[in-house]
């Protein structure tokens, strides 16, 4: 039976979520295995495949990458699919070349063209990395165009980022979710900012709105995620703290566990993605899974993935000016947005994505 290994260095959060979702979809066509971190734990998600835990902490990466190489050579799978680079793109590129010397077909799913905080040499490093593979998978035509500009000549499959339906566990109601979180009333209009709270995700403009401008009537911002504001940015750190202490905010600034994700999205009315940069967004796919409208900026593939009626796109340069009116527009027309969001997840179903992946990796 055709054996597919999905490789992911991390054991939780976005890339791990994607790895498991992809491996589940591929298990319909092949022997499907995830090679990942020792802290990979998804006990609530059924998976008819194998989990192999090789990777440990970052400091052990040089040793673990050799263990990974030897394991893959021993297993001789039909295809290996990296989820971005494992840890260091340059070293991973050498690893990929080594695997291909042994006759293995190695692919990569490109989630972000470059790191969120690139170094001066990142473009050259990632160009070398992407050119190492037998084939690549991109989430949008825009991402494919960027890879073409890197000089990549290997085949590229364009397939949307799948919806994160693995988080739909209990079907908790909106009111019950709000009771569980606390501080949220039944008639509040809740705008969710989910995930790492940092500059890249546009938190500065959001806190300026909360502190300096104020939110539309009956609106509260629900923050859920770790504080990633850089330690050197004391001004933003102070503003953020003032915003989090505001009566219009409910803040859970911490790591959100797997089972809690459903509660936060179920409690919300709209999901905010005021990002300053990025290629794609897993949070958008969570919003789609929970049938929530979004307000997103015009970065990466966000505009092409916010379908008509399911949200609003604003300029990344005008978040402070336009986000409050966008929230109010969705609030007063909420029933229309709610209806438009129904069934959108089918367009990003893992069933069709898995079929496209398998056809690509088995033929390329």
Instruction: Label residues 138-156 b or e (16+ Cβ within 10 Å = b).
Output: bbbebbbebbeebebeeeb
Q: Tell me which residue of 199, 267, 190 sits closest to 228, measured CA to CA.
A: 199
Q: Could you give the CA distance from residue 110 to residue 136 in angstroms, rounded to a whole number?
A: 7
Whether the model pTM is above 0.75: yes
Q: pLDDT tens digits for 160-214?
A: 999 998 999 899 999 999 999 999 999 999 999 999 999 999 999 999 999 888 8
Residues 22, 349 contacting (CB under 8 angstroms):
no
Q: 219-224 and 249-252: which strand pairing?
A: parallel
pLDDT mean over 88-115: 97
Q: pLDDT tens digits for 342-355?
A: 989 988 999 999 99
Q: Tell me which residue of 164, 135, 142, 168 sits closest to 19, measured CA to CA.
A: 164
Of 206-215, 219-228, 309-318, give the lowest mean pLDDT range.
Answer: 206-215
3-state secondary structure of 116: coil
**110 pLDDT higher than 80:** yes
Integer-rounded Cα radius of gyration of the chain: 21
3-state secondary structure of 45: coil
Q: Could you give the CA distance from residue 203 to residue 196 in angstroms, rounded to a whole number?
A: 10
pLDDT on residue 12: 86
Q: What are phi and psi of 281, to 5 degrees?
A: -145, 120
pLDDT on residue 129: 98
Interacting residues of 241 by C-beta distance below 8 A, sequence separation 6+: none
pLDDT on residue 312: 98
Q: Token digits for 209?
A: 């709105």
**231 pLDDT higher than 80:** no
Residues 266, 179 contacting (CB under 8 angstroms):
no
Q: What are phi and psi of 332, to 5 degrees?
A: -75, -15
Can you list the domains of the chain with their CATH numbers?
3-162+349-363 (3.40.50.2000), 165-346 (3.40.50.2000)
3-state secondary structure of 296: strand
């Amino acid at each position: 039976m055709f054996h597919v290994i999905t490789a992911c260095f991390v054991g939780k959060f976005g890339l791990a979520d994607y790895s498991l979702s992809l491996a589940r979809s591929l298990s319909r066509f092949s022997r499907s295995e995830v090679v990942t971190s020792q802290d990979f734990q998804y006990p609530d998600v059924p998976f008819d495949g194998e989990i192999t835990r090789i990777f440990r902490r970052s400091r052990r990466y040089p040793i673990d990458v050799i263990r990974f190489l030897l394991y893959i050579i021993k297993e001789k799978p039909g295809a290996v699919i990296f989820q971005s680079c494992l840890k260091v793109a340059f070293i991973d590129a050498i690893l990929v070349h080594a695997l291909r010397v042994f006759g293995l077909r190695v692919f990569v799913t490109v989630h972000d063209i470059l790191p969120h905080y690139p170094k001066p040499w990142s473009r050259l490093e990632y160009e070398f990395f992407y050119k190492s593979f037998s084939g690549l998978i991109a989430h949008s035509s825009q991402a494919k165009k960027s890879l073409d500009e890197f000089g990549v000549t290997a085949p590229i499959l364009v397939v949307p980022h799948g919806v994160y339906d693995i988080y739909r566990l209990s079907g908790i109601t909106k009111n019950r979710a709000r009771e569980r979180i606390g501080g949220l009333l039944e008639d509040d209009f809740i705008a969710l900012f989910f995930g790492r709270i940092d500059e890249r995700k546009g938190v500065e403009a959001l806190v300026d709105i909360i502190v300096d401008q104020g939110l539309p009537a009956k609106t509260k911002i629900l923050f859920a995620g770790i504080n990633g504001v850089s330690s050197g940015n004391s001004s933003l750190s102070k503003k953020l703290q003032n915003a989090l202490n505001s009566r219009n905010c409910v803040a859970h600034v911490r790591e959100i566990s797997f089972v809690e994700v459903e509660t936060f999205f179920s409690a919300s009315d709209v999901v905010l993605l005021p990002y300053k940069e990025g290629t794609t967004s897993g949070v958008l796919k969570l919003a789609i899974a929970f049938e929530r409208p979004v307000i997103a900026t015009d970065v990466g593939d966000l505009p092409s993935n916010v379908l008509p009626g399911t949200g609003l796109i604003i300029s990344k340069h005008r978040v402070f000016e336009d986000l409050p009116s966008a929230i109010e527009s969705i609030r007063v027309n909420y029933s229309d947005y709610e209806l438009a969001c129904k069934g959108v997840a089918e367009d990003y179903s893992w069933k069709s994505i898995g079929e496209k992946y398998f056809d690509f990796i088995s033929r390329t």
